[in-house]
Amino acid sequence: MKSRGKFKFKSLVARQAGEFTNNKGEKIPYKASYALKVDEITEDGIFERTFKLAVDSPIVKDFQALEAYTDVIIDFEVKFYSSTVSLVPIAISQK
């Protein structure tokens, strides 16, 4: 399933790979990624949202080329899991 929304681009920040320790004492590694920060524009107001982008995502370069507070439309792939739903950015366009 796909979804689309209007946003103002804020930033794209690299997150380094690393690991954390879970409540069982096990070390859990995680991959490097990007944190995409945007303001979602809805009829109920403006809400800051953060999305995770894979380092090898084909749209990373599109976001890197943007200036802060540029109006964009983001297309998402909606992924359903057993106890959660995830929105994965898959394409952007400017208004």
Residue 81 sits in a domain of what CATH number? 2.40.50
Query: For position 94, what pLDDT does the model report?
Result: 86
User: What pLDDT is recorded for position 20?
Assistant: 92
Contact yes or no for 83/12 (Cβ under 8 A)? no
Tens-binned pLDDT, residue by residue, of the chain (95 aa): 999 999 999 999 999 999 999 999 999 999 999 999 999 989 999 999 999 999 999 999 999 999 999 999 999 999 999 999 999 999 999 86
What pLDDT does 17 receive? 95
* CA nearest neighbour of 51 among 93, 95, 92, 1: 92
Q: Find, among 72, 62, 49, 53, the residue nearest to 13 by Cα.
A: 53
Query: In this predicted structure, what is the pLDDT of residue 52?
Result: 94
Whole-number pLDDT of residue 27? 94
pTM, two decimal places: 0.85
Give the number of domains in the chain: 1
Quote the domain boundaries for residue 59.
2-94
